[in-house]
Structure 1
Amino acid sequence: MTSKNIKAPYECMELKEYKLSDFVPEFSEFRQSDDLSRFGCENIENNLIRLEKRGKIHFENRIGICPSCKSHHTVKNGTYERKLIFLRIGEQICTIQKYKCKKCGKVFYSDLSSLVYSNSNITLPVINCIENLYQIYGAGLHKIRFDLKQQHNIEISHQSIENILLKSKYEFNYENRTYSGYYLFDSLWVKIKGKWNYLLALFDVKLNTLVSVKLVESEDSKTIYQFLHESLRNQEKISIGTDLKHEYREAIDKLKVKQHFCKFHVKQNINKRFRDYFDKNQLEKEEFNELIDLKRHIFKILDAKNLNDAKNLRNLLLDKKYSKNNFTIKIVDKFIIPYFQKLTTHLENTNIPSTNNKIENIFQKIFPKHIKRTMKIEQGLLRRFMLKLNHWNIKNKKEKNHTSF
């Protein structure tokens, strides 16, 4: 008799695969991580269990540990209700397990520190979502509130969002590192309660990271010197790039460090001087063309490909017979010639950048003009700056294998 393989009928088989947790709610702690992520609980510590009891979210510890005597000999001692706000499901009334220690008699509650801060009803995933919305998109308080309502079914006030941003934990890391010695320095003007303040920043060119940041009320040379001196104590100091402010020159000269000017700011300054002179004076065509020719020659010096070319162009400028007046003397004899080395330092050393674009880019991305005029308190400004700085740093870690901040 020949044997036959008979296939079992599959039409009658159920599509759903039941789990024990579908029948016994206490076993819901064994559900997959995607279940936890639906409620914004994916990052809770292993000792904290999320259950569903009588239609409510219930939290308890796998092992009740007395916070007073650290004893594990504890028994359950009732529950209490607490209102919590979760991602995706919004506000929920949860039950929290209470315990009593057999050893010392202390009554304590389940440890929720991995899910929510004490004296707060907004869970950590919601706080992280708010910080990310500000870091990545720079969204305002009311826009963040709208996004939370539309995307995550969360209804909280804009003041609560403001408090979260003010209490953000990200801080600038000042631990000692060895920096390259090539720096850029600049300050960001920010308005607090209608008064201008200055956010000083020092940037390491080679490591692509900020060295130090400080908010000050004055931008005088003494304040800048103290900031640079404290930031670069016991660090190598080869060169610092800045714009043309005389306060910067005085501070860096006192620090006895080589300074180089940002080529972009130099060109911008020269263009402004020529434009103002043309606007205030009626010039003959010949004189006008002579000044235009002078400006082009100066720009050729700034754009020279190597130091020898720059020196040759400088010598040609000195030999050239142009009309000398107060304006040309200030441009050539009091700026280009005396500061020729500061203008061409990047041609001597390829590690020195010709512009301050890197630090300017940080300021533009972190605090654009429409934001830096609206700050009300110092804490709010610094917290917002640090949050945006954290996002900028995460994006730029790919460029250099260096952990900044």
Structure 2
Amino acid sequence: MRNQILTTLNCNIDSIQLKLSDFFTGKNDFETILNDRLKPVKNTQNINQKLYLHENNHFEYINLLCPYCGSKNVIKQEYRQRKLLIDDKEPLNVYLRRYLCKTCGRKFTTNIKSIIKPYKRYINLFKDKLECFLETGYRSLRKTQKDLQNFLENSPSHQTIRNWLTINNKNMIKNTERFYSGYYTYDEQFLRINGHRMYRLTLYDQIRNIPIAEQIVPKRTPQAITQFIEESTINQPLISVTTDHMPLYKNIMDYIGVKHQLCVFHLFKMIGDKLYKKLRSKKVTEREKISLCLYFTDIKNIFRTYNSKTSQKRLEKLLNDFNRIPRLLQRFIKQKIIPDYKRLTTFMENNKIPRTSNTVENYYRQTEPEQIKKKYKTKKGILTYLHYKMKNWTKKHIKK
């Protein structure tokens, strides 16, 4: 742990007071002096000002500036002692210089919020490591406590860890990014929370490649989905939404007044699942199997272009040969492709509109949905887990 502490200190301390013994012992590099001087101390800095490290863990600012009025007319006063709990050893005494602003008359003390928050027992490094653990996947509170103990030689209780992780949002989590593209994909998956079936709703920004918001609802109703999409995109552009082929989505998107793109991949998958059974059947002749594959390829080619005129010509050509098409594919053409043709080809009007919802599906896989479906007993617990997953995903995959 000491190495980690010293590494963070290197970028925060602007200068250090040398002792005569530093030259006699050969300790003339910054890291070695810090190691000898601070023993188990961690990062200290003020957000706006560099620090000066004196002997015996005394800290003060360089280039004094009043945080209240911005004046440089500041004088130094006494030191204030504070004890920091670094590991399982004795608390470390740190001395922070106090100051008086001659302009506004207010006093302030050297700020070490980046090391430890006011009135807190554990330094910020514990919480930072805790978030790193969550990036690798789900773990119980007690297992997380043990991990902290192994890595940092000390750990808060599992209840303290739970308090650190708990977020204020009860029903919905939102990304901290402020600007979105307006081109979204929407999907949902079921979860079991304390034995009850619930649904995880997700809205994903296709262009920026980040999730916007997630919510846990007991029932997948049009009112709940509509409210979720509208609340997620308040004061944000809402141009298009790509979804799978659940029938209730059509009325929802029409009510919201947004361009609706049905996922082309899901269309191919629906047809392919039915086709697979036919191709595996011994009752179907080889000639019929070849015909099924060829016409299925023709159907795919309708949507394998970004030119609407080309797509219409391919559809017309297929319809002219309709009587020769196998009945299985005829039903899909009549019941699915022709009625929903406009929604299936919305992406041809604007190449920014995603034609599949694969991005949000990939996001679900990366957040390990299969492992978390039965491990949580409260909505707050699952939303806390998803909050940190969203934060980590955004940091890694966001597109500017």
1:293 matched residue in structure 2: 294
3-state SS of the aligned residue for 1:271? helix
Amino acid at match of 2:124: L
Residues 295-329 of structure 1: CA deviation (Å, up to 9, x unaligned): 2322222334633332222112213323675x444
Amino acid at match of 1:217: P
Contact 1:304/1:310 (<8 A) preserved: yes
Please, which moves more after superposition, 332-341 or 343-352? 343-352
Question: Residue 173 of structure 1: which of 147, 171, 176 is its match?
Answer: 176
1:164 matched residue in structure 2: 164
Contact 1:49/1:60 (<8 A) preserved: yes
Deviation at 1:219, TM superposition (A): 1.8
Deviation at 1:364, TM superposition (A): 2.4
Cα gap change, 1:371 to 1:92, in 2 (>3 Å): farther
> Which runs of structure 2 are paired with 1:5-404 in the superposition (5 Å)?
19-20=18-19, 35=34, 39=40, 41-45=42-46, 84-86=85-87, 90-95=88-93, 113-117=113-117, 120-135=120-135, 137-138=136-137, 140-141=139-140, 144-166=144-166, 172-173=175-176, 177=179, 179-233=180-234, 235-276=236-277, 283-285=283-285, 286-304=287-305, 306-318=307-319, 319-322=321-324, 325=327, 327-397=328-398, 400=399, 402=400
Cα gap change, 1:197 to 1:119, in 2 (>3 Å): farther
Pairs aligned (count)? 351
User: Structure 1, unaligned stretches of length 5 or more?
Assistant: 1-17, 24-30, 64-71, 100-108
Please, which moves more after superposition, 159-168 or 187-196? 159-168
Q: Distance in 1 between matches of 2:233 and 2:96?
A: 53
3-state SS of the aligned residue for 1:186? strand
Q: Distance in 2 between matches of 1:124 and 1:154?
A: 13
TM-score scaled by length of structure 1: 0.69
Q: Distance in 1 between matches of 2:44 and 2:84?
A: 19
Q: Distance in 1 between matches of 2:304 and 2:347?
A: 11
Cα gap change, 1:92 to 1:390, in 2 (>3 Å): farther
Contact 1:168/1:383 (<8 A) preserved: no
2:100 matched residue in structure 1: none
Cα gap change, 1:313 to 1:34, in 2 (>3 Å): farther
Residues 193-235 of structure 1: CA deviation (Å, up to 9, x unaligned): 2223323222233333433333322222221112223333454
Q: CA RMSD of the aligned region, Å?
A: 4.4
TM-score scaled by length of structure 2: 0.69
Identity %: 24
Deviation at 1:252, TM superposition (A): 0.8
Contact 1:174/1:212 (<8 A) preserved: no
Deviation at 1:114, TM superposition (A): 4.7
Deviation at 1:340, TM superposition (A): 1.7
3-state SS of the aligned residue for 2:204? strand
Q: Distance in 2 between matches of 1:313 and 1:159?
A: 62
1:10 matched residue in structure 2: none
Amino acid at match of 1:320: F
Please, which moves more after superposition, 381-390 or 302-311? 302-311
Residues 78-127 of structure 1: CA deviation (Å, up to 9, x unaligned): x79x67244xxx4433457899xxxxxxxxx9987553346643211111
Please, which moves more after superposition, 143-152 or 259-268? 143-152
Q: Distance in 2 between matches of 1:347 and 1:194?
A: 43
Please, which moves more after superposition, 306-315 or 139-148? 139-148
Amino acid at match of 1:165: L
Q: Distance in 2 between matches of 1:21 and 1:195?
A: 69
Cα gap change, 1:157 to 1:242, in 2 (>3 Å): same
Amino acid at match of 1:291: L
Deviation at 1:334, TM superposition (A): 0.6
Q: Distance in 1 between matches of 2:53 and 2:158?
A: 29
3-state SS of the aligned residue for 1:116? coil
Cα gap change, 1:20 to 1:317, in 2 (>3 Å): same
2:72 matched residue in structure 1: none
User: Structure 2, unaligned stretches of length 5 or more?
Assistant: 1-16, 23-29, 65-74, 98-108
Residues 223-255 of structure 1: CA deviation (Å, up to 9, x unaligned): 111222333345443321111122222211222
Deviation at 1:180, TM superposition (A): 3.3
Q: Distance in 1 between matches of 2:372 and 2:234?
A: 33
Please, which moves more after superposition, 285-294 or 362-371? 285-294
3-state SS of the aligned residue for 1:212? strand
3-state SS of the aligned residue for 1:352? coil
2:11 matched residue in structure 1: none
Please, which moves more after superposition, 182-191 or 383-392? 182-191
Contact 1:33/1:42 (<8 A) preserved: no
3-state SS of the aligned residue for 2:324? coil
Cα gap change, 1:145 to 1:50, in 2 (>3 Å): farther
Cα gap change, 1:19 to 1:232, in 2 (>3 Å): closer
Residues 29-55 of structure 1: CA deviation (Å, up to 9, x unaligned): xx87983897452134479998897xx
1:11 matched residue in structure 2: none
3-state SS of the aligned residue for 2:342? helix
Q: Distance in 2 between matches of 1:379 and 1:340?
A: 41
